[in-house]
A and B are shown apart, each in its own frame.
Chain A
Amino acid sequence: MSARLGAWASWAYLGVALLFIFLPVLVLVQFSFQEGLAPVPPFDGPSLKWWAKVMANRKITDGLWNSLLVGLGSAAMATILGFLAAYALARRKHRLSGLYQFLLMAPITVSYLIIGMGLQITFNHLGLGKSLWAIGIGHVVINLPLTFAILYSQLGEHQANIERAAYDLGASDARVILEITVPMLWPALLAAFFIAATLSWDEFVIAFLMSRFDVTLPVVIWSMLRSGLSPELNAAGTLVFAISILAVALVELLLWRARRNAN
């Protein structure tokens, strides 16, 4: 066994795995620039025809807007609720702390389909209609365990000591939280917010079950899919991908800067 053979095999595996991972994305992006009607080879573009069609499609642009609204709103709510809970449970030993944590984390083990259906049944029973609000409520449920877990893990002893120092110097509760805890947690708060926003932005089943007239982008794409393959779908999909990538790049950049400042 030579080390060089091992290294060569490693790079070969990495190449094949990356090809497998990127193949569908590359096909998606390339055939969004197709000229003809079918998003399959041979490629006869490049053409921006289908992109123009997507941009002019009111359903898609409305869906895009609705998705952003629900994504940012539910992420903000999940981050605030997650922070309050993480702070209270990390800083004081409650009699039922174990149970509280179990309850807050429980939604992570239940399928989105079941959470969505349960909400649908409950809303039906209470006579509440389907709406963007209903979707947002569901998205807070699925994202709360994540924001809570991320923020709880960042509220360790080190931060507690700094807070104690501020208390000793006479700072009030509110001042410690706003001027010490939140700034210290800033990267984690942003990461939690963006992860929640990205998951909500892309979520389908709950959005599908809880919406009627105002729908989010994944639901729009789903209904377009019913009429078969089309380069327009490729263009819409590429657009969604591009926006997600921008968000991820932004988070990476912020985390990188936070790490650099910490060093």
Chain B
Amino acid sequence: MRGWGLKSWGHVPALAWTGAFFVLPLVAMLLMSVSERIGGKITLTWTLGNYQAFLTKAEGTFVGALVNSVEVTVLTTILSVLVAYPLAYILAYRVPVRWQRLVLVLTILPFWTSYVIRSYSWLLVLSENGVINQFLVGAGLLAEPVGMGNSRFATVLGFVHFFAMLLTLTIYANLVQIKDSYRKAAADLGANAFQAFWHVTLPLSLPGVAVGAFLTFVLAIGDYITPQILGGSKELLLPQAVMLQLGRQADFPLASALSMVLMLVVTVAFLLSARHLKMGRV
């Protein structure tokens, strides 16, 4: 026997898996979003009613949820970049090379805590009798403890905590690939440290920022746990709205339509960032 011919069929099992358990479910969901529940049975009627419900039902609750989601996600992405960039920069240029790997692993260690547990931990920190309040009241900076959980602030804080670690990783990976000689050349040509950073290092590191920011956007806008645990139910984000339809109402058609809207937003973000990536390279 000469061989298995793996080169000609090796990709088939993976493609079959992706087709059966990813593409097919998406098509099923698309069809579900144009179906109706008639007398407890779901029937494909090619209706756009579910999308109409997204726009008008419950006095714009769903459109509001979309707006909230986009606002929280954009804010999260910007803040995470602002926190992570200096951190990645310090790791790449200030920490001695032989310690870098160790410091990097330590810096993103909490990345490996369970996602549910991480949000829960922030709840402990932020609650009315939590660590921060006890510290602030104890130091006399605050007269009365302030509950900081169940708010948009808490959601964004929880998100930034997680995604700053992710972005530190992508930006660091990009920074260490930039050759030192570029900065030295800039310095030789008379640029001061800030000019060298602004005109050389920063533009060259933008691909790492773009990759991390895109991942942050996709993962944050689709996340249900963080807003549910930290944000509470005072204001609804889109994934929470989807889960509400699934849970209490078992309204699969509406949940599917809402998910399609969510996917559309991510696609738009992808197209925007793909263009930005190309511009960054030129």
Task: Confirm or deny: B113 has a beta carbon within 8 angstroms of a beta carbon on chain A.
Answer: yes
Please pick, from A88, A106, A138, A221, the residue contacting B114 in the complex, using a CB distance under 8 A: A221
Q: Is B203 an interface residue (CB 8 A)?
A: no
* A87 adjacent to B6 (CB under 8 Å): yes
Q: Is the CB of A111 within 8 A of B221?
A: yes
- Give Cα distance in the complex from A96 to B272, angstroms: 26
Q: Is A21's CB under 8 angstroms from B161's CB?
A: yes
> In the complex the two chains form, what is the Cα distance from A163 to B125 in whole Å?
55
By a CB distance below 8 angstroms, the chain B residues around A100 are 11, 15
A190 CB-CB contact with B under 8 Å: no
Contact segment of B48-56, B60-68, B116-124, B183-191: B116-124
Interchain nearest-CB distance for B5 vs A (Å)? 7
Q: How far is the CB of B26 from chain A (nearest CB, A)?
A: 5
A255 shortest CB reach to chain B, Å: 10
Where chain A touches its partner, the secondary structure class is: helix
B110: interface (CB < 8 Å): yes
User: Considering only CB atoms, which chain B residue lies closest to A110 in the complex?
Assistant: B263
On chain A, the residues within 8 Å of B5 by CB distance are 173
Chain A residues with CB under 8 Å of B29's CB are: 114, 117-118, 121
Q: Would B11 and A13 count as touching, CB distance under 8 A?
A: no
Alpha-carbon separation in the docked complex, A100 to B11 (Å): 8
Q: Is B39 part of the contact surface with A, judged by Cβ < 8 Å?
A: no
Question: In the complex the two chains form, is B124's CB within 8 Å of A31's CB?
Answer: yes
Question: How many A-B contacts if CB must be within 8 Å?
Answer: 252
Return chain B residues, CB-CB under 8 Å to A84. Answer: 6, 10-11, 13-14
Q: B125: which A residues are within 8 A, CB to CB?
A: 23-24, 27
Say whether B248 faces chain A, with CB atoms less than 8 Å apart.
no
Partner of A87, one of B7, B18, B118: B7
A residues near B270, Cβ cutoff 8 Å: 109
Contacts A13-B87, A88-B7, A222-B116 given: A113-B259 contact, CB under 8 Å?
A: yes
Assess the B90–A14 pair: CB atoms within 8 A: yes
- Residues of A with C-beta under 8 A to B14: 81-82, 84-85, 104, 144, 148
Contact of A144 among B2, B18, B24 (CB under 8 A): B18
Q: Given the complex of chains A and B, what is the CA–CA distance between A221 and B116 in angstroms?
A: 7
Q: Output the least CB separation between A92 and chain B (Å).
A: 4
- A221/B121 in contact, CB under 8 A: no
Whether the Cβ atoms of B127 and A24 lie closer than 8 Å is no
**Alpha-carbon distance A161/B73, docked complex (angstroms):** 46
Q: Which residues in chain A, 102-128, are within 8 Å of chain B measured between CB atoms?
A: 103-104, 106-107, 109-115, 117-119, 121-122, 125
State which of B12, B23, B86, B124 has its C-beta within 8 Å of the C-beta of A229: B124
Mark contacts of B178-200 with chain A using CB atoms, 8 A cut-off: 1 yes-contact digit, 0 otherwise.
00000000000000010000000
* B148 contacts across to A, CB distance below 8 A: none
- Could you tell me if B13 and A14 are in contact, using CB atoms closer than 8 angstroms? no
Do A173 and B2 contact each other (CB < 8 Å), given the known contacts A10-B94, A92-B7, A121-B28? yes
State whether A225 and B114 are in contact (beta carbons under 8 Å apart), knowing that A10-B94, A84-B13, A122-B28 are contacts in the complex. no
Interface residue? A184 (CB, 8 A)? no
- Among B8, B12, B110, B239, the most chain A Cβ lie within 10 Å of the Cβ of B110
How far in angstroms is the closest Cβ of chain A from B255?
7
CB contacts under 8 Å to B, within A200-228, are 202-205, 209, 217-218, 221-222, 225
- Determine how close the nearest CB of chain B comes to the CB of A182; give it in whole angstroms: 12
Whether A173 lies near B3 (C-beta < 8 A) is yes
Least Cβ–Cβ distance between B145 and chain A, in angstroms:
11
Known: A111-B222, A177-B6. A14 touches B124 (CB 8 A): no
A21 and B6 within 8 A (CB): no
A203, closest chain B residue (CB): B115
CB of A25 closer than 8 Å to a CB of B: yes
Q: Is the CB of A244 within 8 A of B112?
A: yes
Interface string of A173-209 (1 = CB under 8 A from B): 1100100000000000000000000100011110001
Instruction: Quote the shortest CB–CB distance from A8 to chain B (angstroms).
Output: 11
Q: How far is the CA of A125 from the CA of B21 in the complex (A)?
A: 13
Q: List residues of chain B with CB within 8 A of the CB of A241.
A: 112-114, 117
- What 0/1 pattern do residues 226 to 244 of B give for CB contact below 8 A with A? 0001000000000100110
Task: Please give me the residue from chain A that is nearest to B243 by CB atom.
Answer: A113
Chain B residues lying within 8 Å of A55, measured Cβ to Cβ, are none
B72: Cβ under 8 A from any A Cβ? no
Complex CA gap A121/B253 in Å reads 10
Q: Which of A38, A94, A118 contacts B129 (CB 8 A)?
A: A38
A sample of 6 inter-chain contacts (CB < 8 A) reads A6-B193, A40-B124, A92-B7, A173-B4, A202-B114, A229-B127
By a beta-carbon cutoff of 8 Å, the part of chain B in contact with chain A is 1-15, 17-19, 21-26, 28-29, 32, 83, 86-87, 90, 94-95, 105-110, 112-118, 120-125, 127, 129-131, 134, 161, 164-165, 193, 218-219, 221-225, 229, 239, 242-243, 246, 252, 255-256, 259, 262-263, 266-267, 270
